[in-house]
Amino acid sequence: MSEFLPFHGLLPQTDVVSEVAAVPYDVVNSEEAAALAAGKPLSFLHVSRPEIDLEPGIDLHDDRVYAKAAANFRWLRENAPLTEDTGKHFYIYRLHMGSHVQTGIVGAASATDYHQNIIKKHEKTRQDKEDDRTRHVMELRSHTGPVFLTYKDSNEIDALVSNLTEVEPTFDFTAPDNISHVLWRVDVENSRKISDLYQKIPCQYIADGHHRSAAAARTQLECAPKNPHHNGTEDYNYFLAVSFPASQLKILSYNRAVKSLNGLSGEQFIAKIGEKFTIVQTDSHQPGQSGELCMYLQSKWYLLRPKFEIGNLGVIERLDVSILQDNILAPLLGINDPRTSKEIDFIGGIRGTGELQKLVDQGSHAVAFSMFPTTVKQLMDIADAGVIMPPKSTWFEPKLRDGIVCHSFLPGNKLHTGKDRFRCQC
């Protein structure tokens, strides 16, 4: 049973929301963030990537970076301004990217559900990234980057969302990347109905945002012992999330480019691949079905079809990224741990296969692989089995924007119960 609650959202004014909204912190580096935020004092990147307002090259974990994030957040709250809703609401969030449309519900997910695996994971988290996000949340006393959740479709939720989106939205803007973002504030009565419907959802799955959700769970563990009256309803027990029905998600491939052939010539490399795969030169740059791979080598594209029976493999081993890793990257190219190897780069599908060709043609990489996208069903099956997906297996588009709605637990924030406020001293 999934606990998903309305909350006192912190929102920018309608006339500046497009200036505030920003891409997630983890899809841009410092230089890219600085370029996107240049001349835009209201951009949420000043909060999510505060190093852009400090000296170039500063250690991203320097105390001054977190202090600057908190200072910038205070400034933004006052000058955008960001205003906290007095009532507890859900917010419906619709994204348009070309012909693709997906509509989710912004709410407060339960850190306890995360601990109890009612919110299911499919990725490992890195300690340094967890530490960074936890400190960022604690310095701001707010969850500002939404976790992307999904659930198995509910006709009842779909019907209610359809009705609630027939009215004029609260926000409606198109970002510079031509992705449109539409938000509706749900009234208190219908927010209660949504919360009741989520009680029928047995579990939710993290699609994207494993480090943000892990940080939220750690935030709860830090705050609870410092509250002598802790009862589990305080705002620090919940975190910002957008929950989408699984059928609406769009997963793109997460491609690979490798810098060298591990001492092999191109001909030797192809011959070794041919021991396990049928190799056909092709004009296609993307595989047509799961289980196949496309490879770009020496200015040519090849289609690789496994000679072995994929159906006999385990739930992890039959993933396309695992087929590549277990049969080519590790045994032939010496990339035993793609998380730490400096020989491999991961290229999000949104950048297209042209980026793969560019890397190989310019000589920085020797070979590149185009993947068939992981499916939502595969993601759920893996999470249900309690096992971990290989790194960089999924790339979700479109990306949620930071700054449209925040979930705060600053001193004085209201409890979810609506009772007296707990002044968080954590």
pLDDT tops 70 at residue 423: no
The answer to whether 393 touches 133, Cβ cutoff 8 Å, is: no
Going by the DSSP 8-state scheme, the letter that residue 26 receives in this structure is G
In percent, the amount of the chain with pLDDT more than 90 equals 90
Tokens standing for residue 269: 């490399």
Q: Cis omega (within 30 of 0) on the bond before 391?
A: no
For 104-144, what is each residue's pLDDT tens digit?
999 999 999 999 999 999 998 889 999 999 999 999 999 99
pTM: 0.90
- CA 319 – CA 332 distance, rounded (Å): 19
pLDDT tops 70 at residue 414: no
Q: What is the pLDDT of residue 340?
A: 87
- CA 260 – CA 298 distance, rounded (Å): 12
The answer to whether 382 touches 375, Cβ cutoff 8 Å, is: no
SS3 (DSSP) at 91: strand
For 1-34, what is each residue's pLDDT tens digit?
889 999 999 999 999 999 999 999 999 999 999 9
Going by the DSSP 8-state scheme, the letter that residue 56 receives in this structure is T
pLDDT band for 222, please (50, 70, 90 cuts): very high
For 155-188, what is each residue's pLDDT tens digit?
999 999 999 999 999 999 999 999 999 999 999 9
When mean pLDDT is compared across 85-89, 214-218, 228-232, 407-411, the lowest value belongs to 407-411
- CA 291 – CA 306 distance, rounded (Å): 7
Q: How far is CA 400 from CA 81, 182, 332, 357, in A?
A: 21, 11, 38, 28
The backbone torsions φ and ψ at residue 83, rounded to the nearest 5 degrees and listed phi first, read: -120, 135
The answer to whether 24 touches 400, Cβ cutoff 8 Å, is: yes
pLDDT tops 50 at residue 418: no
Give strand pairing partners of 208.
Answer: 148
Q: What is the pLDDT of residue 4?
A: 98
For 32-46, what is each residue's pLDDT tens digit?
999 999 999 999 999
pLDDT band for 410, please (50, 70, 90 cuts): low
The backbone torsions φ and ψ at residue 148, rounded to the nearest 5 degrees and listed phi first, read: -95, 110
Q: What is the pLDDT of residue 175?
A: 96
Q: What is the pLDDT of residue 126?
A: 86
Q: What is the pLDDT of residue 257?
A: 98
Minimal CA–CA distance to 231: which of 417, 426, 107?
Answer: 417
Residue with tokens 């370029």: 35
pLDDT band for 420, please (50, 70, 90 cuts): very low
Minimal CA–CA distance to 248: which of 196, 207, 294, 209?
Answer: 207
CATH 3.40.50.300 fits 253-393, yes or no: no
In percent, the amount of the chain with pLDDT more than 70 equals 96
- CA 245 – CA 149 distance, rounded (Å): 9
Minimal CA–CA distance to 36: which of 118, 44, 107, 256?
Answer: 44
pLDDT tops 70 at residue 417: no
Helix ranges restricted to H, 57-198? 63-79, 111-115, 127-140, 155-164, 188-198
CA angle 421, 183, 210 (to 5 degrees): 70
Task: Kindly list the domain boundaries of the chain, sorted by start residue.
Answer: 4-250+397-408, 253-393
Q: Estimate the crossing angle of helix 188-198 against helix 155-164, to 10 degrees.
A: 160
**pLDDT averaged over every residue in the chain:** 94
Cβ neighbours of residue 60 under 8 Å, at least 6 residues apart? Answer: 30, 51, 132
The backbone torsions φ and ψ at residue 329, rounded to the nearest 5 degrees and listed phi first, read: -65, -50
Q: What is the C-alpha R_g of the chain?
A: 23
Higher pLDDT, 125 or 69: 69
The answer to whether 197 touches 6, Cβ cutoff 8 Å, is: no
Could you tell me the sign of the dihedral formed by the alpha carbons of 411, 147, 74, 187, in that order? negative
Q: What is the pLDDT of residue 426?
A: 56
SS3 (DSSP) at 157: helix
